[in-house]
Amino acid sequence: MKLDRVQQEAFVRLQQFATSGEPLAPYTTYKLGGAAAVFASPRNDVELALVAEVVRDTGLPVLVLGRGSNMLVADTGYRGVVVSLAAMSEWLEFHDDVVHAGAAVALPVLARRCSAAGLVGFEWAVGVPGSIGGAVRMNAGGHGSDMAASLVGVHLYDMHRAVRAWVPVANLELRFRGSSLADHQVVLDARIQLAVGDVVASEASLAEIVRWRREHQPGGQNAGSVFVNPIPGELPAAVLIDQLGLRGFRVGGAVVSEKHANFIQAEPGATAADVRAVMQHVRALVREQAGFDLRSEIRLVGFDDVADEPAEGVRW
């Protein structure tokens, strides 16, 4: 990727812990998409503050990357600064029934560690291949629970104001697969309140959730459920898509899964544009035939026709 003057300025200032033209496909579960103009991996708060300073000075967009499990990167890549917190936020602490986890911790890892410690209520996360930071942002959930059920609060870093603060869960405005967090607000860590329970029963629950997911959801290159259920708990998006006969619908190397109609698989040779085209077709047909305007769970990154996230974000 050839950098323009502004991108080059950002890279030069961050080069001690950044690369340019870093392919983003390996960082996502779709394994698709182009490169980042600047890919920064800050190792501490000082380096994160420098990223914030550079973003403010250059006006480049910024994207915080977790495990890429709900993200589709455009084939043309991302023209701004991608920030990975893996080097500074992959840690766990247990304090009685409260878990303190860095934003880069994988949800399945946390679920298993909690279970082994005799803490229950987070088993649902064992099958969600995301990070704590991403899970907070989208209020990830499944099997009757979600982040909102146990989250106490988070440490946020606001890259526009260069301010770090503790923010209680109420301020995050968590909703079904969403929150009020904006792109410039970085989840650094989260505090989770669980209950003391039986290790054997908890581990049995983990095993059952893993079994259920393997039976009902496809593997391979995908990002999980593509669309938010239009009526949570009552009308799954998969049912609407299935009723319209869209299982197997294909554009290029992207196809609606035959196993689960709310999954779009990326087969060999697929492009991000293929996946996007399938998403657009499914959404348009559901709107036309069923009257529901499906909201995407998938974060579209680098697509010119996708509006930016709300700029204001969480207030504190």
Q: Are residues 163 and 194 located together in one domain of the fold? A: yes
What is d(CA 89, CA 104) in angstroms, rounded to the nearest whole number?
A: 5
Which one of the listed residues 225, 276, 283, 299 is annotated catalytic? 225
Per the structure, the count of domains in the chain is 3
Q: What is the pLDDT of residue 231?
A: 84
Q: Active-site residue 9, yes or no?
A: no
Q: Active-site residue 225, yes or no?
A: yes
Q: Structure pTM?
A: 0.91
CATH number at residue 143: 3.30.465.10
Which one of the listed residues 67, 137, 177, 283 is annotated catalytic? 177
Domain limits at 229?
Answer: 225-296
Q: Are residues 130 and 74 located together in one domain of the fold? A: no
What are the b/e assignments for 64-79, b being 16+ CB within 10 Å? Answer: bbbbbbbbbbbeebbb
Q: What is the pLDDT of residue 5?
A: 96
271 within a domain of the structure (yes/no): yes
SS (H, E, C) the chain: CCCCHHHHHHHHHHHHHEEEEEECHHHCCCCCCCEEEEEECCCCHHHHHHHHHHHHHHCCCEEEECCCCCEEECCCCEEEEEEECCCCCCCEEEECCEEEEECCCEHHHHHHHHHHCCEECCHHHHHCCCEHHHHHHHCCEECCEEHHHCEEEEEEEECCCCEEEEEEHHHHCCECCECCCCCCEEEEEEEEECEECCHHHHHHHHHHHHHHHHHHCCCCCCCCCCECCCECCCECHHHHHHHCCCCCCEECCEEECCCCCCCEEECCCCCHHHHHHHHHHHHHHHHHHHCCCCCECCEEECCCCCCCCCCCCCCC
Tens of pLDDT along the chain (316 residues) come to 789 999 999 999 999 999 999 999 999 999 999 999 999 999 999 999 999 999 999 999 999 999 999 999 999 999 999 999 999 999 999 999 999 999 999 999 999 999 999 999 999 999 998 999 999 999 999 888 999 999 999 999 998 888 999 999 999 999 988 899 998 899 999 999 999 999 999 999 999 999 999 999 999 999 999 999 998 777 899 999 999 999 999 999 999 999 999 999 999 999 999 999 999 999 999 999 999 999 999 999 999 877 655 557 887 7
Q: Are residues 105 and 196 located together in one domain of the fold? A: yes
Q: What is the pLDDT of residue 267?
A: 97
147 within a domain of the structure (yes/no): yes
CATH number at residue 13: 3.30.43.10
107 within a domain of the structure (yes/no): yes
Q: What is the pLDDT of residue 177?
A: 87
Q: Is 40 left (phi over 0), alpha (psi -120 to 50) or beta?
A: beta
Which one of the listed residues 22, 47, 123, 297 is annotated catalytic? 297
Of the residues 84, 113, 129, which one is the last residue of a structural domain?
A: 84
Q: Are residues 25 and 75 located together in one domain of the fold? A: yes
Q: Are residues 107 and 20 located together in one domain of the fold? A: no
Q: Active-site residue 79, yes or no?
A: no
119 within a domain of the structure (yes/no): yes
